[in-house]
Structure 1
Amino acid sequence: MKKFSRKAGGVMLCLMTLLPFCASASGGITLNTTRVIYPQDAKQSSVSVRNTSEKGTFLVQSWVENKDGSKTKDFVITPPLYTSRPGSENILRVIYSGSELPRDRESLYFLNTKAIPSVDKAALEGKNTLILAAVTRIKLFVRPAGLKPSSDDAPSALRFKRAGEKLEIYNPTPYYLTVTNLKAGNKELKDIMVAPMASDSVPLPPGSRGDVYFSTVNDFGGVTPAQKGVMQ
C-alpha cells in the first residue's frame, strides 16, 4: 500500500493505493470486477462502478497505467471524471486507442479508479480535517483472439524447477498467470504473476521439500482448485 499526503489550509488529503484481490472496494465505491479482460479487436469494454454509501458523494477519477506503472494514453476512459451520488451506478467505458499490440500473447495494463469524498467547506472552516481519497487498482489484460491453449487449460502448462534457494516457474502460455496458494511440501510460498512465455522465481524457505502444489486466479477473479506442479 502506498500513501501520499498533502496538507493545505488545515485540510490533509491522503491518497491510498489499494491492490485488491477480492471485491474491489474503497470508501463506498466498488467495481464489479477484480480484473478486466479486453478482447484485442473489441471497440470497447465496460466496468460498472457503484456507490454503496447511503449518504456519501464522491468525485470519481479513472485512468490506465502501463505494466511499468506509468500513466498511458493507450486507453481512453469515459467518463474520466464524474460525481457519484449515494446509491448510484455508473459505467466506465474503456477504449483502446494505442498502436498495434502483439498478437501472440496478452498485454498487461492497470485500471485505476480514485474516489475523493465530498466535503462541506463551510463546516470545515478553521478545523484540521483528514480527507481520504482511495485508489482502486486492478489488472487490465488485452487478449488477442485465437490464443492456445484456452485460458482455462493454461495453468496445467506451468513448469516448476528447484534452483538452489529458489523455485523457478516457467509459463509457456500466451497468458499472464497469477500463481497463488503455492506450496513446496508443507511450506507456503509467496504469490507471483508470471508473464507469457517467460520465467520468474520465488524464494524457497529452508526445509521446503516434497511436491509443489498451486492454484491460479481465473478470468473472473476466482481461485482455481489446487493442482500438483509439473517439475522440469
Structure 2
Amino acid sequence: MNNRKNNCFGNTVTDERTTPAPPDWPSRIAFFDRLATVWDNTSSLEKIAPPLGAVVDTWDVKPAETILDVGCGTGNLTAVLLQRLGTDGRVVGLDISTVMLQHAKAKVNDPRATWLECPAEDVPLPEAVFHRIICFSVWPHFTAPATVLAEFYRLLKPNGYLHVLHLISRSAVNNIHSQASDPSIHHDLLPPVADLAVLTQTAGFKLITAAEDNSSYSLTATRPAS
C-alpha cells in the first residue's frame, strides 16, 4: 500500500524523489528556468487559450475533477482548466523548474490551483488521487517514459483519464528540440503516436484515441476500473 504523504494540496512541494535523478538533471532544470523568462513571449495565455480550450472541451471535464497538469510551465493549461472547473475542482501544476512555477503562481491567482516541484517519475502523493492527468507539450522531455506511465497509472483513479497533447506536429516538435541552442534537449524527441499507444497499453492503460497529423498530436487513455 502506498503511504506517500499527500502534502501537495495547499502548498508548493519541492523534489522528494526516491528514484535517482538522471545525470543531466541540473542542466535540464537550468534550461527550463531560463526558458521560463521568455516562454510567454511566444506562447502567451491569450494566444494559446482558444485552441487549447477547444481541445479541452472535447474531453468532457467535470466541474469537481482533480487534475494533474504535468509540465505545467507558466500555467497556461492550468488557467484554461480552472475556467472549466467548479468551486470543488482543483488543479495541481507539476514542474521541475522553480522559475516556471514562480511564473505560473503569478499568473494563476486561484485557491483551486496548487503547485508541485518534482519530476513526473516520482510524485510524492498517494495513489488514485486524480480524475485526469494531462501532459501538454511535455512528453518528449521524459527520459524514462515507461516509469512515467507507471507513476501516472498509480496516481489516477480507476476510470481516470490520461491525455498527451501537442498543438503542433511531431516533426515540428522534434525539429525545435533537435535544433535548440541548449544541447540538453537535443534528444527529447516525440515518438510516433502509434508507438506511444503501444507503450501506454503495455503500462496497463486502455487506449481510447491516438492520432497525429501536420498540426497536432494527441493520445487519450484510461486506467481501467479493474
TM-score (ref. length: structure 2):
0.26
Task: Say which structure is richer in helix.
Answer: 2
Structure label with greater radius of gyration: 1
Q: Which has the higher strand share?
A: 1
